[in-house]
Amino acid sequence: MSDLLLADDPLYEELYDVRREAEAMRNYVAEDQTDAIARLRAQAPVHAGSLRSLLNLPEHERHPLAIGKPRFCALSFDACEEVLRDSKRFSSRIVHHPNPGEEKSMGVLEMDGPEHRAYRRALQPIFLKHNAEVWWRHGWIDKTVERLVAGLKQRKTADLNLHYCARLPVHTITTAIGLSGDAALEFRLAWMKSGGVGRVPPEEQRAAAQQVEAILFALIEARRAVPADDVITRLMASELALPGEPVRKLTDREVMLNARLIMVAGGGTTWRQMGITLLGLLSNPEQYAEVCADRSLLPLAIEESARWCSNSGLFCREVMHDTELAGVFMPKGSVIELWLNAANRDPSRWDHPERYDYRRPVVNHLGFGIGQHRCLGLNVAHQEMIAGLGGLMDAFPNLRLDPDYPAPFITGGLEQRGPSALRVVLD
């Protein structure tokens, strides 16, 4: 197994410190905006303008196709849900990154309707609950947790954000795809650079994008020669049934695109979400003790963390024809921002929504999305967090926040959230 998993590599801090990540992405927001967003939501569920413009914050554009288009933002649960469930009126194609010669760049994430359904059906078996609980757990997650916990046992204190949460998902996804664990940070760094993160000059961006593709195409070639029991081999064997076309396998480019999406979605989300769950539990020690004593509560604790603060705060859709949302007229071609964390703290749906409380009545939230694009990796993310949090609870029954450090808080950009740090005492 990879040595990088436990190494003191400075790249962990460069890539997996929430504040540094946001600064590199140029969307860091220093002041907490929760109250200002709540005031806007109380005024109206949908506003004309981007949320950042309404909060007087600098704009941050993730989607090149959205540049220059009229913008709206949805802040209530009902408005966000209505958009997420209606891909005829509100299209995901806005997330496409135009690339010369590339019809698609973001795999299933940028598709709608029957095309999306067909590709999603092809990928779905890899992520079914049973596969997450058995194949992913036995193949990659449990071994990674075991080694990380053994590493922590050599210490009395730790920053669980950097020493634990950062490492488990990126090593799981890298090795599950079929790469060596030692490639985990190289791949993530190249991906971040390819998106221009960290003020990378354009030629370096292009080289990084090619590096990401080259890594995955080389893996596809290797598995064509010698198949293995991993995600890339299963993607290569997946059957695609597009309406009106004969059933076929995915092309190498389609395998590469969706493998890249899976690597990126898996290597940068569960990290922050596991940290948010730990922050919620450790800041409420009586809830931590209850979950420690009864591990069947872990899924509730994880779902409440995704409700309380989803690490992925913003998704966008393109308006496909003139329409109204919550009484606001939106012209065809405009962009609607869906602020999941505003929706998940909608007081018309949750009492004291600002509190982390896994005991609250279970109702749908939007932390993993909803509708056609609901997180495909949800079961895997759950299993990583169940194994990861359970492994910590088994090994360190007295785990607590380190009183020698300031209390951790949620930080980052509005678009991606995570804990400032997770300094703990282990023994």
Q: For residue 105, how many other CB atoms are within 10 A of its CB?
A: 16
Quote the tokens at residue 305: 């963390």
- Contact assessment for residue 196 and residue 181, using Cβ atoms and an 8 Å cutoff: no
Q: For residue 144, how many other CB atoms are within 10 A of its CB?
A: 25
Please state the closest distance from residue 336 (CB atom) to ligand HEM, in A: 12
CA distance linking residue 223 with residue 426, whole number of Å: 42
Total of residues contacting ligand HEM (CB under 6 A): 27
CA distance linking residue 399 with residue 291, whole number of Å: 13
Choice between 170 and 426, CB closer to ligand HEM:
170
Please state the closest distance from residue 258 (CB atom) to ligand HEM, in A: 7
**x-marked contacts with ligand HEM along 259-278 as a string, rule CB under 6 A:** --xx--xx--xx--x-----
Q: Which of 286, 423, 263 is nearest to 358 (CA)?
A: 286
Q: Which of 206, 195, 169, 202 is nearest to 184 (CA)?
A: 169
In sequence order, what DSSP letters do the residues of 94-106 get, joined into one string? GG---BTTBS-SS
Which residue do the tokens 């967090």 mark?
385
Q: Which residues pair with 28 in a beta bridge?
A: 413
375, 393, 399, 422: which one contacts ligand HEM (CB under 6 A)?
A: 375
Choice between 4 and 375, CB closer to ligand HEM:
375
Can residue 126 be called a binding residue for ligand HEM (CB under 6 A)? Answer: no
Choice between 198 and 299, CB closer to ligand HEM:
299
Can residue 368 be called a binding residue for ligand HEM (CB under 6 A)? Answer: yes
Coil/strand/helix, residue 246: coil
Can residue 380 be called a binding residue for ligand HEM (CB under 6 A)? Answer: yes
Choice between 216 and 426, CB closer to ligand HEM:
216
**x-marked contacts with ligand HEM along 289-328 as a string, rule CB under 6 A:** -----------------x---xxx--x-------------
Chain positions contacting ligand HEM, by CB under 6 A: 84, 92, 108-109, 120, 173, 261-262, 265-266, 269-270, 273, 306, 310-312, 315, 367-369, 373, 375-377, 380-381
